[in-house]
Structure 1
């Protein structure tokens, strides 16, 4: 990959920058984990992350595969979202539900503290400004990731996460409309892009061997198909 991956030690102090690696980082309603293949030894509990990005998390496991003398190290763990997902939002003692209202940054900060993710996780006010949460009632004993995302959706917002300067910064911002972009919080999608497609097709018709009818078709850069 072209973007350097930062790896910390077990105490979460940056220890190295890796350029040669393979990282599969996922978050959403179905999975909040990552898989990293790299030719480096990384301690359990270390952080791996792309600076200023949602992509990153904590190393929970290692798979070492040895084939014909070559060792492949594959690490896996929870993304920042997965760390949220592992925490439970419970109602206060004697209360039926946990309810919140007010400034989003204040609420997020209180929720992160409630599930003991501070000071690593920090609620911040986005450049676009703070937003408000109308009175919201969480489901009983919901995981923090699902609960925060549901609260955000109910208020037309979306959860954003980025690792910056030793902290996992979290904030809520207005969920964009479809427009020319796809907002991953508004729909499910699976997108792929292929840059180098076949542009020459050979058609074989009647006949045998040298007597067989052959036609050639070509696509230009604009997708126009001709026999030139």
Structure 2
């Protein structure tokens, strides 16, 4: 099945807060600000403000920008002044993005870092004091015990965490905590069970599937390469029952759909490589567009749906969330993970 992408715009009443590098809250981000924040892909943010609406105290280098109680936020690492548009542009990594800029190394004299213990406790071991007092790991007991988990050598902290959590069916939960009183805020991370969303279990949401089940594709590709006449390199490639490409014919008679692929300069190896790629483009496929409304999901949560006509079940995890604010209007788009 081809990649499934979903755009799920939601109108939200959420407000960004700015704070000093120490975590001391300054106030709400000016409503004239334009925000573009990506979690799950580039893991960064950009904020545009008219110069007339900016002051140095409200937001600057190493300053924090966040929506309390959510994952939306990060630290300002770059400031750009644009004369033509009379804007100031602030950008930097999101909290999720900051995890990508730390590397997990094996302990001295050991081949791998080995983790054991309750799941959140292992996250605490991975995080350590890498972020000083900005990051804290949830004290919640998941009930999941990790046994001798071997962390890959020299990987980003983010990749190490995601691989570990995925192994146990959990996702990474991130939220900025803003305590009441004089205490300064911090980023809390922890392990949460993945939510599986479908209309059977959640009648409040609306899942719409648009599925194309294409079965007129080519299943036999005759590949012609270098040489002439009887000396020409000829290769027959066939689609198997499970959709893979092989050398044995599976479809015959009316079920066979054949085509020719000509690559006159290709030797046998090149012809097989390019012919296989070509046949994959020509064979049967299913294409699905999924949209979801009235729901709030996090990266790693799973969306499921079923189409009776094509007898197709779709189950894909959320891989990206993009938050945008433009002219005071806030929208959140989701994208689900597709087959590569």
The whole-number CA distance in structure 2 between the counterparts of 1:59 and 1:88 is 21
Map of 1:222 onto structure 2? none
Shift of 1:103: 0.9
Q: Does the 8 Å contact 1:60/1:78 carry over to 2?
A: yes
Map of 1:134 onto structure 2? 146
The whole-number CA distance in structure 1 between the counterparts of 2:43 and 2:320 is 16
Q: How does 1:110-125 map to 2 (within 5 A)?
A: 110-113=125-128, 116-125=130-139
Q: Does the 8 Å contact 1:3/1:19 carry over to 2?
A: no
CA, structure 1 residues 18+191, in 2 after alignment: closer, same or farther (shift >3 Å)?
A: closer
Shift of 1:74: 1.2
Map of 1:35 onto structure 2? 46
Shift of 1:189: 6.4
Q: Please, which of 49, 59, 62 is the counterpart of residue 79 of structure 2?
A: 62
Map of 2:108 onto structure 1? 93
Map of 1:77 onto structure 2? 92
If you compute each CA radius of gyration, which structure gives the higher value, 1 or 2?
A: 2
Map of 1:15 onto structure 2? 26
Map of 2:192 onto structure 1? 173
The whole-number CA distance in structure 1 between the counterparts of 2:30 and 2:95 is 21
CA, structure 1 residues 178+108, in 2 after alignment: closer, same or farther (shift >3 Å)?
A: same
The Cα RMSD (Å) is 2.3
SS in 1 for 2:62: coil
Map of 2:207 onto structure 1? none
SS in 2 for 1:26: strand
Shift of 1:174: 0.9
SS in 1 for 2:86: strand
List runs of 5+ in structure 1 lacking aligned partners.
Answer: 193-228
The whole-number CA distance in structure 2 between the counterparts of 1:87 and 1:154 is 21
The whole-number CA distance in structure 2 between the counterparts of 1:191 and 1:89 is 26
Shift of 1:188: 5.3
Q: Does the 8 Å contact 2:23/2:186 carry over to 1?
A: no
Shift of 1:123: 0.7
Q: Does the 8 Å contact 1:50/1:56 carry over to 2?
A: yes
After TM superposition, the structure 1 stretch with the greater mean CA deviation from structure 2, 154-163 or 104-113, is 104-113
Deviations 1:64-96 (A, max 9, x none): 2122xx511111001001111111111100111
Query: Normalising by structure 1, what TM-score?
Result: 0.73
Map of 1:52 onto structure 2? 69
Q: Does the 8 Å contact 1:131/1:173 carry over to 2?
A: no
Q: Does the 8 Å contact 1:158/1:172 carry over to 2?
A: yes
SS in 1 for 2:39: coil
Count of aligned pairs between the two proteins: 186
Map of 2:174 onto structure 1? 161
CA, structure 1 residues 4+61, in 2 after alignment: closer, same or farther (shift >3 Å)?
A: same
Asked if residue 147 in structure 1 is aligned to residue 160 in structure 2, the reply is: yes
The whole-number CA distance in structure 2 between the counterparts of 1:191 and 1:32 is 9
Q: Does the 8 Å contact 1:6/1:17 carry over to 2?
A: yes
Map of 1:199 onto structure 2? none
Shift of 1:10: 3.4
Query: Normalising by structure 2, what TM-score?
Result: 0.50
Q: Does the 8 Å contact 1:112/1:118 carry over to 2?
A: no
